[in-house]
Amino acid sequence: MSPTALDNFINNEHVKPVHGHYFDTFDPARGIPHSRIPDSTKEDVDLAFAAASKAFKTWSKTSKVERARIMNKIADLIESRLDEFAHAESKDQGKPVELARTVDIPRAAHNFRFFAGRILHSVDEAADLAGVGFSYSQRMPIGVAGLISPWNLPLYLLTWKIAPCIACGNTAICKPSEFTSLTAYMLCSVLQEAGLPAGVVNMVFGTGMGAGQAIVEHPRIPLISFTGGTVTGAKISSVAAPMFKRLSLELGGKNANIVFADCDFDLALKTSLRSSFANQGEICLCGSRIFVERPIYEKFLAGLVQGANDLKVGDPSQKDTNLGALVSKEHWAKVMSYVQLGQEEGGKIECGGQKPTSLQGEFQNGYFLRPTVISGLTPSCRTMREEIFGPVVTIFPFDTEEEVVGYANDSEYGLSCSVWTENGRRARRVASEIEAGTVWVNTWMARDLRMPFGGMKKSGLGREGGNHSLDFYSELKTICLAD
């Protein structure tokens, strides 16, 4: 089967890149090309900006009720094509179809529903300044937003940006990851069918150095939302800050998973297996540094290794598959380099660390890796400090609460942390001391879209979710009327 050719989506039309250049992306499970992606440049971004700028004039004045109606229609259409989107996401990213069907695609639809409801039920501020006048706040759309999304949760995180952006009356130029553009391309037909006006959402496909950089550098794009690596986030910030662009950066993580001896052992172990290896460990919120209180360390390690060995790695279309393939050959090599580094730094590979030997036939060239647990390292080594972003976790014992909080906070990242304890006072105390944007106690990946989400330190800049998203995607104005 020949690769599927995608085109840019500008002004509600599929258009070829200005210079006519494309490149291949690969099916991670098979290691073969499956899509041809436009290699877009500044000229393509300029075309998208012209369409988005024109659409902003009318979309920014469209009523909230009408915006919400269209957004709910988008959600309906995504749900009606659930299986189609799930299979495409799996083929493009490598994840199990079942994960895409139960998490990624439903969440994409929910993003639109949530913000459709949020704009209809938000309340602006008002105050009476006795004897002087009356003041009230008013949210104003900002303009054309640049939305750059990652490859690990492609539709899930792209719609997390699009939904609040257009809910607030802005228009958008989106640049999905060049590794995983298929479901973004499919979303374009949904936007058309839902009746979203031409130019409100535009998709420009291509590389970060090509299309992404052109979006960031565009002098008339006033806000950028980016999810991806910390190095790229720093480059974006260096370009955007002198131009006074509004920035939301959700970047890397090296998250601690703290297990106290008084935890619900079975629940902590079961959830730690998920937080370690879900989506092949390619989630910025995965708990890749596991710290276990010494009295239960050996038991927990044995359970973690057994559980990891029991996970099925292979054909993403099979319902009982737990881990699919890593997103690309290059990323697989990067993750494997950290497995090697962990050994060089004195670590012991308790399980995994290699491709499954059972995969043959169409999957023999796929980018698979068995879930890997490394023990015997020190918290200061590179393997325990640098983001790996794959199915590789380290495990280390601790003796005191103060000690483990120190380990957890001794990181240049601060995205999330999980804490396992049945002691309520300890839970609140440790959660308060952890330097991370989100702390889960006795759970993982419980996301409330009403709450702020973002990272500390090098894990990001700004917060999104609920009113924080509305704040980012709108300009807040105070109007004062004299008595």
Which pair of tokens denotes residue 255?
A: 């998250």
- 340-355 core/surface letters (b: 16 or more CB in 10 A; e: else): ebbbebebebbbbbeb
Question: Which of 174, 188, 284, 286 is the catalytic position?
Answer: 284
Q: Are strands 126-129 and 133-141 parallel, antiparallel or unpaired?
A: antiparallel
Question: Is 475 a known active-site residue?
Answer: no
Q: CA 469 to CA 104: how far, in whole Å?
A: 20
Whether the CB-CB separation of 208 and 231 falls below 8 Å is answered with: no
Whether the CB-CB separation of 31 and 365 falls below 8 Å is answered with: yes
Helix, strand, coil percentages in the chain from 3-state DSSP, rounded to 5: 40, 25, 35
Q: CA 483 to CA 474: how far, in whole Å?
A: 28
Per-residue CA distances from 196 to 47, 71, 168, 190 (Å): 18, 8, 14, 9
Which pair of tokens denotes residue 359?
A: 């995969």
- 267-294 core/surface letters (b: 16 or more CB in 10 A; e: else): ebbebbbbbbbbbbbbbbbbbbbbbbbe
Whether the CB-CB separation of 255 and 444 falls below 8 Å is answered with: no
Question: Is 165 a known active-site residue?
Answer: no
Question: Which of 89, 250, 293, 387 is the catalytic position?
Answer: 250
Q: Which of 283, 290, 247 is nearest to 417 (CA)?
A: 290
DSSP code of residue 476: E
Residues with catalytic function: 250, 284
